[in-house]
Amino acid sequence: MRDLDAAEVGVERLRAVAEANQGSFPVQVALGRALEAVGEATFYFAERKKAKLDALKFPEYKGAGTVPDVVKHINTKVKEWIGKKVPLIKDATEDYKKIIDLQPVPPPRWVIAAGSRVGEMWGGFVKEFRAAPIPDKIKKDYELRTAYYGSLDEASEPQKLMAKGAFGTCLDYSVKYQYFDEFSRACEEWLANNYKNEFHLVDEFRGSPNRVNSVLREQGNPLRIGGEPIAATLNEAAPAPKKKSEEKAKEEKSSSDKAIDSQFEKKADKKKKK
């Protein structure tokens, strides 16, 4: 963490220099690179906290499936799991949030990655929470089962909204800076699956992730003064060089043709003399 603190101090100094030398391209480039490095380092330390979070698995239920037994499991093991899981998520979220708070402008690549990770943590919590065991008596009754899952959804709605906000930030930065990778794709997929009326996956409008938008690759065809496109002209392919065997066979054929022609000429001369 000391190295990260030192890097942040370096960014602050570069930012002060950039403000004092507005319009200086080398200073702006150096500041951008420094922000990118600090963003990556901050993401790395946040990932270490997320690894501890991922190791804390939802308690598996192995009871008889009766209502009292399930309620006991929820009030003990599941409640204990929630008490440990939520603080770890909040702690890791604060570290990821440091990337968004970088000044003067946070690095888009790492903001997208951080937003994806925060959304993944809260979204994963909601998914595991909804997987809480259900008593056999309730499972067999449609109305009771619907009400049970409805109560789980209602209880986890605040965490689901936090996941939506994080994934939304990730997607906003991805669109704003035209940067698409596996993190932005994860944001798109989660939002499209959980909020179908608000978000849609339209793959045909753009290519696969893992690429940065390039203006040069998206230039249109050249136009004439009148607005008509200039048709691309292709050079005619040069004839393939003939093989020596083909040339030799052609020469032999031409020589045999000449011999036949001379014989016919001799016969014709003899007839004229007669």
Domain ranges of the chain: 2-212
d(CA 15, CA 28): 9
pLDDT tens per residue across all 274 residues of the chain? 555 554 454 445 545 544 545 655 566 677 778 888 888 999 999 999 999 999 999 998 888 888 899 889 989 999 999 999 999 999 999 999 999 988 888 899 999 999 999 999 999 999 999 888 888 888 888 988 898 889 888 999 999 999 999 999 999 999 998 889 999 999 999 999 999 999 887 654 455 555 555 444 444 455 555 545 555 444 444 555 555 566 655 665 566 565 555 665 665 565 555 5
Run of H or E including 31: helix 25-54
pLDDT of residue 201: 77
Q: How far apart are CA 180 and CA 157, in angstroms?
A: 28
* Residue whose C-alpha is closest to residue 35's, from 13, 11, 57: 11
What's the pLDDT at 54?
A: 92
- Kindly provide the b/e burial profile for residues 113-139, where b requires at least 16 CB atoms within 10 angstroms of the residue's own CB: bbbbbbbbbbbbbbebbeebbbbeebe
pLDDT 10s digits, 19-52: 545 655 566 677 778 888 888 999 999 999 999 9
pLDDT of 259 reads 57
pLDDT for the residue 236: 45
Residue at 140: amino acid letter: K
Distances in Å between the Cα of 188 and the Cα atoms of 11, 35, 165, 177 are 32, 26, 12, 15
Region label for 191, one of left (φ > 0), alpha (ψ between -120 and 50) or beta (otherwise): alpha
pLDDT at 61: 87
Q: What pLDDT does residue 37 have? A: 87
Nearest in space to 88 (alpha carbons), one of 136, 54, 40: 54
Residues β-bridged to residue 180? 211
Model pLDDT, residue 32: 78
Q: With CA atoms as reference, report the closest residue to 153 among 168, 131, 136, 174.
A: 131
Q: What is the pTM of this model?
A: 0.66
